[in-house]
Amino acid sequence: MSCARDVSYQAAPDVPRPPQHFMVRTGFDHKEGEPPDRQVAIDYFGIIFHGHTVMHVDSLAHFFWDGKMYNGFPMTDVSTDEGAKRNNVLAGSAGIVTRGVLVDAPYLRGTELVERGDGVGMDDIEKAEAQCGFKVEKGDVLLMRTGQLGQREKTGGLDVGKAGSAGPKPEILPFMHEREIAVMGSDTGNDVAPTGYAKFTNPVHQVGIVGMGLWILDNAWLDTLADECRKRGRWEFAISINPLRIPNATGSPVNPIAIF
């Protein structure tokens, strides 16, 4: 099953620059007498995928700290004219196929969702390992559901800067480093807001990407996956994540597929 939602072209408080789609050729462009092989529809699609709604993967060129990116490369290796010359998304161009595990925090807490400003922490992960029959292991894709993206489908988008956001808590970063997970993700932008830190605007990204070399999935659609996990009583599955082969890009839209 897909772990991504349909792309929306509508602007919203959390989508100030929405994806663009328009037709270059349509059924109305066909001219009488034109050969059948010229009857064609052609699309244009443009997208700013970094943000709070589009499912995407962040490469290690997406965030910097003190002028450096992961492995100490200068942040100037990402430029306007060339893009990301290092740590770009082509490192994942062969695809990521591994085991995925889901920490369904609302299910474990007996609630509908993790409220904005709260986050998925070590208590949730430890409870998931104890109750759901898995242990987070080296090479896993660790997915954490808050229910926030599902709630957005019902209530509409909110300005994250004002309304806040749920997400993984920074306290889980040492755990993910110790367990050597391959990718982490959630149904949010993957940072609790407000962060509670004066210095860190996006602690999970800033520490995870720059300090740990952690690939991050933002805005995963996890409600359908959670329903299937509950129905099966099984919270582990195979997962396939395939970034587009976009040279020098700092990430890519993806459509992760979970397979039971």
Mean pLDDT taken over the chain:
95
pTM (two decimals)? 0.94
Bridge partners (DSSP) of residue 168 are 120
Per residue in 185-243, pLDDT tens?
A: 999 999 999 999 988 999 999 999 999 999 999 999 999 999 999 999 999 999 999 99
108-112 CB contacts, 8 Å cutoff, 24+ apart: 112/147, 112/151
Between CA 153 and CA 51 the distance in angstroms is 16
Per-residue pLDDT of 114-166, as tens digits, reads 999 999 999 999 999 999 999 999 999 999 999 999 999 999 999 999 999 99
- Rounded Cα distance, 63 and 52, in Å: 16
Domain boundaries, the chain: 56-259
Whether the CB-CB separation of 256 and 220 falls below 8 Å is answered with yes
The answer to whether the CB of 215 falls within 8 A of the CB of 190 is no
Nearest to 89 by CA among 128, 60, 119: 60
Beta partners for residue 101, in sequence order: 142, 236
- Which of 204, 207, 185, 187 is closest to 195 using CA atoms? 204
Pick the CATH number of 56-259 from 3.50.30.50, 1.10.10.10, 3.30.70.920, 3.40.50.300: 3.50.30.50
Q: Which of 36-45, 63-72, 245-254 is predicted least confidently? A: 36-45
Instruction: Tell me: pLDDT of 32 over 80.
Output: no
CA distance 257 to 251: 18
pLDDT score, position 159: 94
Taking the C-alpha atoms of residue 188 and residue 165, their distance in angstroms, rounded to an integer, is 7
